[in-house]
Copies of this chain bind each other. A is one copy, B any other.
Amino acid sequence: MSASTRIPPIAQPFVSDRAKKTLDLVEEFVEKDCVPADAVFSAQLGEGEKRWQTTPAIMEELKAKAKKLGLWNMFLPKNHFKQGAGFSNVEYGLMAELLGKSKIASEATNNAAPDTGNMEVLAKYGNEAQKQQWLVPLLEGKIRSAFLMTEPDVASSDATNIELDIRREGNEYVLNGSKWWSSGAGDPRCKIYLVMGKSDPNNRDTYRQQSVVLVAADTPGVTIHRMLHVYGYDDAPHGHGHISFKNVRIPISNMVLGEGRGFEIIQGRLGPGRIHHAMRTIGAAEKALEWLIARVNDDRKQTFGKPLSAHGVILEWIAKSRIEVDAARLIVLNAAIKIDQGDAKSALKEIAQAKVLVPQTALTIIDRAVQAYGAAGVCQDTPLAYLWAGIRTLRIADGPDEVHLQQLGRRENNARKEAVTAKLKWQQAESDRLLIASGFKAKSHL
């Protein structure tokens, strides 16, 4: 059963025939070319320090093949840009699920974060010069990029806390401050940073204090101090950098969209990006389920006289995983469709639902697979431990679950409290009216 036939019935009307064909091509490319190449990528990367200076040859081979197959830049949504492959968010979402099954497939098809979000920003908000200089090579997969927002000294889950100073001096901006979790900054091909900072810290509107500027990675005053680990993984060569800015000078032409428009930019950037992350995570969960099934049917791994798949507890894991991942996928696809029909802003609720539900679901499923494998599950012999660690960060990145739940709860509460209260009160009054009309007495109400 190919990927296009596995699309949930409810989502079928939203997927064009062209997208279905591409989807099947993506599956073939991921399962036959990319997944087997994952280990080659690691081997070519080598050991120790040089992992940060290497670009494995296999990646360029896969990129060439992907381009030839037309599997390139599928993430760029059709309704906004001519540069992309012309798919809707829901169509690309289904492809992203498949890309999520390999460590290298997203980059091999130029659909890898954070480049995708950065390309969107440049395509949407960049001026022509900025596009020429940075968007074109990014779209061609010649360079890579990073988005620098999180800071070590503040609680970045509240983005108004961000402190990096952007001060204008003549025709230049001067940047001072620190960033960390600058993902992708480790790659030797990472040439450009999109940096969020405060250009107007005294603006009364706390959502107009921030700007996003472009900083070439080799600008004097920029120092990558160290790479952060995720559990025990350092994610070389990509990496998560801790970077300082000391009197870093950039031309004013590197401002994106305009001073004070930083929030606008990150909000536009996050919607589709969350769909991508969520669908790749769905793919990781499906991959974990496949590994689980392979294990529990492995005849060499019998316990107490029967294969693991004959144990009721294991079958329950499979069944629950099936239900949970299918429910989570529908939540994401529904959010993608909402974006496709309007924009990310109109789909805030749906996107937040996907942002919160999907990582927790996937972590549960992956952890079941780890447990089914026993010791093999936590080590380098399965993809499970690494998948788990990476997805664990998604409960934190772009705002922790708790912040999203508070916002979602508050929005739902505020939007509905008056109407709901009025309706229940009216129903109670009407009920009393009917009771009295029927010869009974009114009910006592809370």
Contact = CB atoms under 8 A, between A and B. Distances in A.
Contacts of A323: 331, 353, 356-357, 408
Contact of A297 (B43, B371, B421): B421
A170 interface: no
In the complex, which of the residues A48, A233, A388 has the most CB atoms of chain B within 10 Å of its own CB atom?
Answer: A233
Q: Is the interface of A mostly helix, strand, loop or mixed?
A: helix
Query: What is the oligomeric copy number?
Result: 4
Contact of A315 (B290, B320, B410): B410
Interface string A376-409: 1111111001101100110111001111111111
A37 interface: yes
Given A9-B338, A323-B357, A445 B315 contact: no
Interface string A341-367: 100000001100100110000000000
Interface string A64-81: 000000000000000000
B158 A330 contact: no
Interface residues of A, number: 137
Contact of A316 (B150, B406, B446): B406
A318 B413 contact: yes
Interface in A1-49: 8-11, 13-14, 31-32, 35-40, 43-44, 47-48
A416 interface: yes
Contact of A44 (B47, B181, B334, B438): B438
Contacts of A386: 231-232
A204 interface: no
A372 to B, nearest CB: 9
B316 A417 contact: no
Interface in A417-431: 417, 420-421, 423-424, 427-428, 430-431
A301 interface: yes
A129 interface: no
B319 A412 contact: yes
A303 B403 contact: yes
Interface in A308-341: 308-309, 311-320, 322-323, 326-328, 330-331, 333-334, 337-338, 341
A291 interface: yes
A353 B230 CA distance: 32
A320 B409 CA distance: 8
Given A302-B155, A319-B408, A409-B318, A10 B9 contact: no
Contact of A36 (B293, B389, B427): B427
Nearest to A355: B323
Contacts of A312: 311-313, 406
Contacts of A378: 229-231, 389, 392-393, 396
A315 B435 contact: no
Interface string A172-190: 0000000011000000000
A363 B377 CA distance: 17
Contacts of A373: 446
Given A37-B434, A293-B420, A316-B402, 20 more contacts: A8-B334, A9-B334, A13-B14, A40-B440, A157-B374, A228-B381, A231-B231, A232-B233, A293-B413, A293-B417, A294-B417, A313-B316, A314-B409, A315-B410, A319-B356, A319-B408, A319-B409, A327-B353, A375-B396, A378-B396
